[in-house]
C-alpha cells in the first residue's frame, strides 16, 4: 500500500515550516524506496514556496537535492539493492517514450517532466509530488541516481541540482582548458560552476555583489573577482569572455554580461528570478552585441546527472555545505534570501524526529 512519509512543509507563502505527515505512492515493481539522509536547500525551493513562479499548492514540501540509502526495492529492480546509496534530483519521472526522453533529456519531455515537488504525477493518478525535506521518497529506479560508496554523503546532495545545472551548460558550450570564462552570482550554483570550470583548466572571473565573497572566489580558484557595485572594477570587462554562466536569482541587466562576451562567445542563463523580477533584454541589444549567443539551460537529464555525479565524486568536487537540523529551515531560508549562506544548506534528515 501507500508509504507513510514525514516531512517539513510550508502551509502558506510565509517561509515557515511545520512537520507534516503524508503518503507517497506504493513501491511498484520498478520502484525503490529511499530513506533520505540529507537534503539540500536550493534557491528554487524558496522561489517555489514563496509563490514566485506560479501558484503553489500547500502544504508544500520542498527539496530536490536528495541523498539517502535504499530501504526497499520492487521486484523488477536491477540498478539498486537494499543498502546502496541513491540520489534524486529535480526529475522523478517522464513519459519515457518521446524523442527527448529516449535521448536521456527528460527535462524536455514532450508530455512534461514530472518534478520532484509541486508536479502532477501523471503516472500515479495525478497526485502532487512532495519533495525531499522528508524522511523518504519513492521513485522509479530509472530516475534515481547511483551514488558511489566512497561519496561524502554530507556534501553529495546539492550536486543533484546545483551540480548538474552548472555542469550541463559548461559541457553544452564545450568550455576548454585555457578558456577565459565568467560566473555571475557566487551562490549555491555559482560556486559549483567555478569548481567545474577551474577543474577544466579555464580562467574564471566571478561577478557578485559583495566584498564578503572576494576571498572565497580566490580560494575556489578564480583568477579574478568583480564586485558589480564597483564601477572601477567593471571597466575593461567587455569582449573578454568566451563563456559566461549567469546564476543570478534577482533582477539584473543581462545585456551588461552579453557585452562582456567575445565574438562567438556563449552565455548560459540558469538563474530563474521571481516572475516580477524577470530580467529583460531587447532584441536590439542583441543586434548591437552581434554574433554572441545567449541561451537558457534547465537542469540536466538523468544520464548527464549520473555522469556529473560520478565525475564530481571521482574528482572530489563538492559543494561547501553547512549542515542544519530540520527545525532550522526557517532561519536557513532567511539567510539564503539575505545572501548569508556559504554556500549550501543541507538538512540532516535524521533530525526530523528530534
Ligand atoms: P543562491 O541564492 O545560492 O545564489 C545566488 C547568488 O547570486 C548569490 O550569491 C547572490 O548574492 C548573487 N546575486 C544576486 N544578485 C546578483 C547580481 N545582481 N549580480 C551578481 N550576483 C548576484 O541561489 P542558487 O544558486 O541556489 O540558485 C540561483 C538561481 O538559479 C535561482 O534563481 C534558482 O531558482 C535557479 N535555478 C535554476 C535551475 C535551472 O535548471 N535553470 C536549477 C536550479 C536553480 P547575494 O546572496 O549576496 O544576494
Ligand atoms: Zn534546485
Nearest atom within ligand 1 for CA of residue 42:
26
Same domain, 23 and 132: yes
Q: Which protein residue has the closest C-alpha to ligand 1 atom 45?
A: 339
CA 63 / ligand 2 centre spacing (Å): 8
Which of the listed residues 296, 329, 345 is the one where a domain comes to its end? 296
36 with 137, same domain: the answer is: yes
Q: Any idea which residue has 565568467 for its cell?
A: 182
Q: Mean pLDDT per 10-residue run, the chain (354 residues)?
A: 98 96 98 98 98 96 98 98 98 98 98 98 98 98 98 98 98 98 98 98 97 97 98 96 98 97 98 96 95 98 98 98 98 96 97 85
Percent of the chain surpassing pLDDT 90: 99
Task: Supply angle C-alpha 194, 198, 203, rounded to 5.
Answer: 95
Does residue 303 sit within a domain? no
Residues with C-beta less than 6 Å from any ligand 1 atom = 42-44, 47, 161, 165, 184-190, 207-210, 228, 247-250, 252, 270-273, 297-299, 336, 339
306-353 pLDDT, tens digit per residue, is 999 999 999 999 999 999 999 999 999 999 999 999 999 999 999 998
| CA angle 296–301–303, rounded 5-degree value | 140
Strand, helix or coil for residue 222: coil
- Residue 263's pLDDT is what? 97
Q: Is 313 inside any structural domain?
A: no
Asked if residue 127 is part of any domain, the answer here is yes
Q: In this structure, which residue's CA is closest to atom 1 in ligand 1?
A: 187
In a domain, 215, yes or no: yes
Q: Are residues 14 and 156 in the same domain?
A: yes
Which helix (H) or strand (E) covers residue 273, if one does? Answer: none
The ligand that comes nearest to the alpha carbon of residue 192 is: 1
CATH of the domain at 192: 3.40.50.720
Q: Whose CA is nearest to atom 39 of ligand 1?
A: 298
Q: How far is the CA of 65 from the centre of ligand 2 (A)?
A: 7
- Indicate if 110 and 196 belong to the same structural domain: no
CATH number at residue 83: 3.90.180.10
280 inside domain = yes
- Both 206 and 260 in one domain: the answer is yes
Indicate if 156 and 24 belong to the same structural domain: yes
Pairing of strands 241-246, 261-269: parallel
Does the residue 140 lie in any domain?
A: yes
Q: Let me know if 158 is exposed, middle or buried by CB neighbors in 10 A (0-12, 13-18, 19+).
A: buried
Same-domain status, 132 and 173: no
Residue with cell 527535462: 107
Question: What is the 3-state secondary structure of 32-50?
Answer: EEEEEEEEECCHHHHHHHC
67 and 208: one domain? no
Looking at the fold, whether 226 and 279 belong to one and the same domain comes out as: yes
Nearest atom in ligand 1 to the alpha carbon of residue 298 is 40
pLDDT 10s digits, 30-78? 999 999 999 999 999 999 999 999 999 999 999 999 999 999 999 999 9
**Whether 187 contacts 245, CB under 8 Å:** no
C-alpha–C-alpha distance, residues 216 and 219, integer Å: 5
How far is ligand 2, taken at its centre, from the CA of residue 334, in Å?
17
Cα angle 291, 294, 300; round to 5: 140
- CA pair distance 24, 41, nearest whole angstrom: 21
The answer on 18 and 147 residing in a single domain is yes
14 and 37: one domain? yes
Question: How does the average pLDDT of the chain come out, rounded?
Answer: 97
Structural domain boundaries enclosing 152 = 3-161+318-353
Instruction: Classify residue 308: in a domain, yes or no.
Output: no
Find the ligand nearest to 336 CA. Answer: 1
167 grid coordinates: 555542469
Give domain status of residue 173, yes or no.
yes
* Domain count for the chain: 2
* Predicted local confidence at residue 353, as pLDDT: 80
Look up residue 236 and give its three cell numbers.
Answer: 575593461
Whether residues 195 and 330 share a domain: the answer is no
Amino acid at each position: 500500500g501507500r508509504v507513510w512519509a514525514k516531512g517539513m512543509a510550508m502551509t502558506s507563502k510565509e517561509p515557515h515550516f511545520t512537520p507534516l505527515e503524508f503518503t507517497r505512492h506504493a513501491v511498484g515493481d520498478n520502484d525503490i524506496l529511499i530513506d533520505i539522509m540529507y537534503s539540500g536547500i536550493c534557491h528554487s525551493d524558496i522561489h517555489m514556496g514563496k509563490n514566485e513562479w506560479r501558484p503553489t499548492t500547500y502544504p508544500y514540501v520542498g527539496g530536490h537535492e536528495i541523498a539517502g540509502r535504499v530501504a526497499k526495492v520492487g521486484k523488477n529492480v536491477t540498478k539498486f539493492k537494499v543498502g546502496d546509496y541513491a540520489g534524486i534530483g529535480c526529475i522523478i519521472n517522464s513519459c519515457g517514450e518521446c524523442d527527448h526522453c529516449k535521448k536521456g533529456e527528460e527535462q524536455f519531455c514532450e508530455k512534461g517532466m514530472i518534478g520532484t515537488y509541486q508536479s502532477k504525477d501523471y503516472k500515479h493518478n495525478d497526485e502532487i509530488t512532495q519533495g525531499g525535506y522528508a524522511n523518504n521518497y519513492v521513485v522509479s529506479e530509472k530516475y534515481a541516481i547511483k551514488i558511489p560508496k566512497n561519496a561524502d554523503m554530507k556534501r553529495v546532495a546539492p550536486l543533484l541540482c546545483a551540480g548538474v545545472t552548472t555542469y550541463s551548460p559548461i559541457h553544452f558550450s564545450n568550455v576548454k582548458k585555457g578558456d577565459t570564462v565568467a560566473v555571475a552570482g557566487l551562490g549555491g550554483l555559482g560556486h559549483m560552476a567555478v569548481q567545474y570550470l577551474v577543474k577544466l583548466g579555464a580562467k574564471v572571473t566571478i561577478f557578485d555583489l559583495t566584498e564578503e565573497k572576494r576571498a572565497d572566489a580566490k580560494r575556489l580558484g578564480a583568477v579574478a573577482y568583480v564586485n558589480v557595485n564597483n564601477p572601477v572594477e567593471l571597466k575593461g570587462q567587455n569582449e573578454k569572455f568566451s563563456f559566461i554562466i549567469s546564476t543570478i536569482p534577482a533582477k539584473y541587466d543581462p545585456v551588461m554580461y552579453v557585452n562582456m562576451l567575445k565574438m562567438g562567445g556563449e552565455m548560459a542563463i540558469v538563474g530563474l528570478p521571481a516572475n516580477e523580477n524577470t530580467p529583460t533584454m531587447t532584441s536590439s541589444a542583441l543586434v548591437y552585441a552581434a554574433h554572441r549567443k545567449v541561451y537558457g539551460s534547465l537542469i540536466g537529464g538523468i544520464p548527464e546527472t549520473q555522469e556529473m555525479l560520478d565525475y564530481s565524486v571521482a574528482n572530489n568536487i563538492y559543494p561547501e555545505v553547512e549542515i542544519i537540523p530540520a527545525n532550522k529551515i526557517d532561519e536557513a531560508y532567511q539567510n539564503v534570501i539575505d545572501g548569508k549562506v556559504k554556500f549550501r544548506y543541507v538538512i540532516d534528515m535524521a533530525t526530523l524526529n528530534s
